Amino acid sequence: MKAIGYLTQGTVEEQELQDIVLPLPSVSGHDLLVEVKAISVNPVDYKIHQSTRPPSEQWKILGWDAAGVVTAIGDQVQNFNIGDEVYYAGDLTRQGTNMEFHLVDERIVGRKPKNLDFAQSAALPLTSITAWEMLFDRLCVQHIRPHQTPSILIIGAAGGVGSIAIQLLKAKTNLTIIATASRPETQAWVKELGADYVINHHLPLAEQITALGLAAPSFVFSTTHTESYLPQIVKLIAPQGHIGFIDDPKQLDIMLLKSKSISAHWEMMFTRSLFQTPDMQQQGELLNELADMIEQTKIRSTIDQVFGNINAENLSTAHALLKQGTLKGKLVLAGF
């Protein structure tokens, strides 16, 4: 089967991704063998490439988003059959989705939305799981307490995670959504997705929120550059507020949080599969619920563009574009 992999590390500007041929994987246990029809790119792809050297003479396959068709099932599979169309975000401890046929545990797989094609569906799993777990498992925004201001600030709202977070909040809560975006096209994008207010993250945040006549939000979801934004977040957030992070700052001064009794939450969507947690099945369940919401037109795909076929050249270019941090929505590749 066709695949895209690498044998050595490299910067995103010097990706050593190669088009290769690998044996077809064998299926057993809870695994599904999925014929991959489309993938999307995520920051985890180039971060793993830059930080992880494969064992000697072994190929490392990146990619943690896919949509495709089940072609074989393990002897313990309960929820899927051959021919089912699925979407999922994979598992860091296993090979990625940049291959024609991919093994994945059924517990982290959802049924593909019927009203989306494979490319539109592949844009959703990783960012949707990340946003969902942050909002509803970590920040618990669905349970507003009397002392909390029913509003949330999303920093970097036009990206993949922010794009789906806005929609989930609009569909499942009554929170006022304040989104940050700096360019006309990204500001229009987040408004279209449901943001109530848009402010510019290149300007002082607290002053912009005050100028809009809004109370200090009780929740802040920072998707990028958290280390540089933290002093501003602490300034603008309500006392006893909650901050959520998904990026990888080198250091954070948590002493800034003490005076306001602010709680901090870190989200990594691979935690459940990485540690085989008892609630691992929740990722498959939330993807199924998301599919229901999409079919009810409460949620739309966050796909921005299909970049071409799945091959080394296109993936290398896609990773470089992603690292620039200027894309809106998701970048997808489809077909081998």
CATH number of residue 224's parent domain: 3.40.50.720
* Max CA distance (Å), the chain: 61
Q: Are residues 323 and 242 in the same domain?
A: no
Q: Which helix (H) or strand (E) holds 33?
A: strand 31-40
Is pLDDT of 9 > 80?
Answer: no
**Range 307-324 average pLDDT:** 92
Same domain (yes/no): 164, 246: yes
pLDDT score at 60: 92
pLDDT at 139: 98
Q: What is the pLDDT of residues 205-219, one digit of tens each?
A: 999 999 999 999 999
Q: Are residues 219 and 119 in the same domain?
A: no
Q: What percent of the chain has pLDDT over 90?
A: 88
Task: Give residue 55's pLDDT.
Answer: 75
- How large is the average pLDDT for residues 242-270? 96
151 and 52 in one domain?
A: no
Cα gap 169→194, rounded to integer Å:
9
Do residues 91 and 152 both lie within one domain? no
pLDDT over 60 (residue 194):
yes
Confidence (pLDDT) at 213:
97
Task: Tell whether the model's pLDDT for residue 203 goes beyond 60.
Answer: yes
pTM for this predicted structure: 0.94
pLDDT in tens, 11-53: 544 548 999 999 999 999 999 999 999 999 999 998 888 887 7
Q: Considering 237, 266, 295, which residue would you say is the last residue of a domain? A: 266
Q: Are residues 249 and 204 in the same domain?
A: yes
Residue 176 near residue 196, CB atoms below 8 Å: yes
- C-alpha span between 125 and 110 (Å, rounded): 9
Same domain, 318 and 194: no
Report the pLDDT averaged over residues 225-243.
97
Quote the number of domains for the chain.
2
pLDDT of residue 35: 98
Q: If you search the block for the tokens 């992999």, which residue do you land on?
A: 5
Domain co-membership, 22 together with 64 = yes
Residues 315, 260, single domain; the answer is: no
Beta bridge partners of 31: 105
Closest CA to 299 of 107, 42, 125, 84: 125
pLDDT band for position 154 (cuts 50, 70, 90): very high
Q: Closest Cα partner for 3 from 94, 102, 119, 109?
A: 102
Q: Select from 266, 290, 321 the last residue of a domain.
A: 266
290, 108 contact by CB (below 8 A): no
Q: Please, what is the average pLDDT of the chain?
A: 94
Rounded to a whole number of angstroms, the CA Rg of the chain reads: 20
* Domain end point (choices 266, 291, 318): 266
The amino acid that residue 182 corresponds to is: S
Residue 99 pLDDT > 50: yes
Burial class (CB in 10 A: 0-12, 13-18, 19+), 94: middle
The answer to whether residues 142 and 91 belong to one domain is no
Full domain range(s) for residue 145: 128-266
- Residue-wise pLDDT tens digits, 115-140: 999 999 999 999 999 999 999 999 99
| Mean pLDDT confidence for 317-326 | 87
- Of residues 267 and 6, the one with the higher pLDDT is 267
The per-residue pLDDT for 11 is: 54
